[in-house]
């Protein structure tokens, strides 16, 4: 059996901090800086106006002009949610979580250490995550999520267990919109709705061949989910937190920020936990002077332990910072293989570069005409007459 | 493959200049001049039959653009030029 732990509006609550009173008003998470202009999680009063997560900001404001936009706090949400996942892992659960507020784990194998039955596992999970969590138990991940959604919060019996023999009947009346919990099925419920298919029972009744022909792989996945089947859980790998933070004495920007990042890269590379490994992914985060946080993840094309290369990959992301930062942090998101960069015996890079350049020029000319690749030729660079200094001439290849 | 010709970079382009006091530009292409940063004269090739005499102005326009224009002192036309 799969257990779903659902903490509704987790991101909104985390961003609100001690301003939780705002939950009784129409409120929504504002779009993250530099991302699509869509609202995040919304409060119940905002839902009453028809505002839902993922709605365009303009539409949300036109539906509910009094909507309070709460600055998102991705860094805070991540920290708080990781604490929840850590606590669940401490009871022995191998946790899968793609989104803050929803976690899944398999109960099988945990009964033995929590009283010998499922109830013991559930009470251990409840103690781990605290009050306010809704627990759903079912044979599949999707069905357990649907079960957790059916649980009324703030009730003593905040757990719903759907036995394997009842899962088909349990899912039948539920809305097909629940399929949106899977990122790859975000758009499917709307299309199904246009075809008059509104419940999971109606989805489950569709012939697989027709579904495959009309919707391809996502359609077959939806069919499986609606019939109570699901893909296997993929628990997260325990994180190895390696991060460095730097308080900025004054709201820094531009070169100062780059300098701060350079220091952070050097500090992260010097951490003993790295054990000689390269870095594959990094996350830069910042806390703004005026409140709120920002986080950007960078995956290196080639895992590296070269500070210059890492800095080159990270610096462009600093330009996305929407406000002056009071502190900046760098965290290793993923390690690569041990560093083994060695000098080459033969310098083949020059020849390879020339060949790549020649091929790029050929392709550019093919698509944009013969004058697509030109080179600037200095004719008389010291001339007092500007038009005599340089000319554009055809690029004939290296050395032309 | 059609032959591709070379061309000069930074060739002057004719521009409409409104002339103010002391024959200095007061507007370029419809934008008033905020200030004249620099002014200089270039005389070249005077020893040939095609002498070149230009009076250059480096200007800041009210829309914030920084531009260089010159008056051709032999033919009296105005041109803009990227330095």
- The lowest-confidence range among A150-154, A218-222, B66-70 is A150-154
Contacts with A43 (C-beta within 8 Å, 6 or more apart), sequence order: A9, A12, A22, A23, A24, A25, A26, A27, A28
Res. B82: pLDDT tops 80: no
Summarize the confidence of residues B10-17 as an average pLDDT.
Answer: 92
Residue among A376, A390, A394 whose CB faces B4 most closely? A394
Integer Cα distance of A28 and A46 in angstroms: 7
- Predicted confidence at residue A342, as pLDDT, reads 59
- Predicted confidence at residue A330, as pLDDT, reads 92
Summarize the confidence of residues A170-178 as an average pLDDT.
Answer: 91
Whether the model clears a pTM of 0.90, i.e. scores above it, the answer is no
Best mutation target, B4, B11, B81, to test chain A (most A CBs within 10 A) = B4
B56 sits in which H/E element: strand B52-61
Mean pLDDT score of chain A, rounded to an integer?
85
Summarize the confidence of residues A362-371 as an average pLDDT.
Answer: 80
Best mutation target, A364, A385, A400, to test chain B (most B CBs within 10 A) = A385
Contacts with A149 (C-beta within 8 Å, 6 or more apart), sequence order: A6, A134, A136, A178
Summarize the confidence of residues A1-23 as an average pLDDT.
Answer: 86
Model confidence at A397, pLDDT cuts 50, 70, 90, reads: low
Residues A31-78 have pLDDT tens digits of: 877 677 888 888 989 989 988 888 888 899 999 999 988 888 888 888
Residue among B6, B7, B10 whose CB faces A389 most closely? B10
In chain A, residues with a C-beta closer than 8 Å to the C-beta of B44 are 384-385
What sign results for the dihedral spanned by CA atoms A46, A47, A53, A57? negative
Which has more pLDDT, A183 or A145?
A: A145
Contact B1 A370 (CB under 8 A): yes
Contact A389 B12 (CB under 8 A): no
Res. A6: pLDDT tops 70: yes
Res. A399: pLDDT tops 60: no
- Predicted confidence at residue A400, as pLDDT, reads 44
Percentage of chain A beyond pLDDT 70 is 93
Contact A391 B1 (CB under 8 A): no
Residue among B2, B44, B83 whose CB faces A370 most closely? B2
In chain B, residues with a C-beta closer than 8 Å to the C-beta of A371 are 4
Q: What tokens were used for A390?
A: 């340089």
Contacts with A368 (C-beta within 8 Å, 6 or more apart), sequence order: none
Contact A371 B4 (CB under 8 A): yes
């Amino acid at each position: 059996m799969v257990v779903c732990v659902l903490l509704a509006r987790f991101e909104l609550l985390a961003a609100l901090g001690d301003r939780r009173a705002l939950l009784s008003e129409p409120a929504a998470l504002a779009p993250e800086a530099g991302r699509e202009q869509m609202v995040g999680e919304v409060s119940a009063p905002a839902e009453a106006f028809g505002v839902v997560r993922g709605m365009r900001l303009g539409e949300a404001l036109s539906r509910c002009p009094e909507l309070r936009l709460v600055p998102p706090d991705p860094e805070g949400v991540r920290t708080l949610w990781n604490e929840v996942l850590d606590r669940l892992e401490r009871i022995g659960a191998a946790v899968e979580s793609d989104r803050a507020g929803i976690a899944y784990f398999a109960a099988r194998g945990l009964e033995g250490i929590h009283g010998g039955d499922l109830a013991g596992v559930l009470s251990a999970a409840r103690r781990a995550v605290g009050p306010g969590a809704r627990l759903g138990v079912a044979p599949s991940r999707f069905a357990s999520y649907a079960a957790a959604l059916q649980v009324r919060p703030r009730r003593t019996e905040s757990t719903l267990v759907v036995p394997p023999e009842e899962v088909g009947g349990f899912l039948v009346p539920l809305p097909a919109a629940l399929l949106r919990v899977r990122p790859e099925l975000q758009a499917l419920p709307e299309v199904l709705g246009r075809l008059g298919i509104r419940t999971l029972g109606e989805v489950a009744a569709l012939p697989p061949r027709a579904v495959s022909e009309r919707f391809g792989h996502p359609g077959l996945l939806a069919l499986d989910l609606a019939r109570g089947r699901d893909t296997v859980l993929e628990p997260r790998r325990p994180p190895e937190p390696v991060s460095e933070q730097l308080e900025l004495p004054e709201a820094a920007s531009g070169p100062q920020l780059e300098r701060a990042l350079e220091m952070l890269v050097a500090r992260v590379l010097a951490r003993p936990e790295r054990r000689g490994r390269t870095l594959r992914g990094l996350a830069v985060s910042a806390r703004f002077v005026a409140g709120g946080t920002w986080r950007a993840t960078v995956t290196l094309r080639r895992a590296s332990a070269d500070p210059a290369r890492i800095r080159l990959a990270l610096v462009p992301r600093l330009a996305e910072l929407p406000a002056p930062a009071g502190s900046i942090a760098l965290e290793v998101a993923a390690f690569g293989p041990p560093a083994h960069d060695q000098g080459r015996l033969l310098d083949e890079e020059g020849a390879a570069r020339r060949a790549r350049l020649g091929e790029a020029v050929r392709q550019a000319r093919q698509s944009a005409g013969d004058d697509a690749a030109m080179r600037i030729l200095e004719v008389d660079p010291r001339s007092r007459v500007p038009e005599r200094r340089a000319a554009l001439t055809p690029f004939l290849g290296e050395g032309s | 493959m059609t032959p591709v010709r070379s061309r000069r970079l930074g060739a002057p382009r004719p521009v409409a200049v409104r002339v103010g006091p002391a024959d200095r530009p007061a507007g370029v292409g419809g934008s008033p001049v905020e200030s004249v940063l620099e002014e200089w004269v270039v005389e070249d090739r005077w020893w040939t039959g095609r002498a070149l005499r230009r009076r250059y102005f480096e200007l800041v326009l009210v829309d914030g653009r920084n531009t260089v224009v010159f008056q051709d002192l032999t033919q009296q036309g105005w041109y803009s030029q990227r330095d």
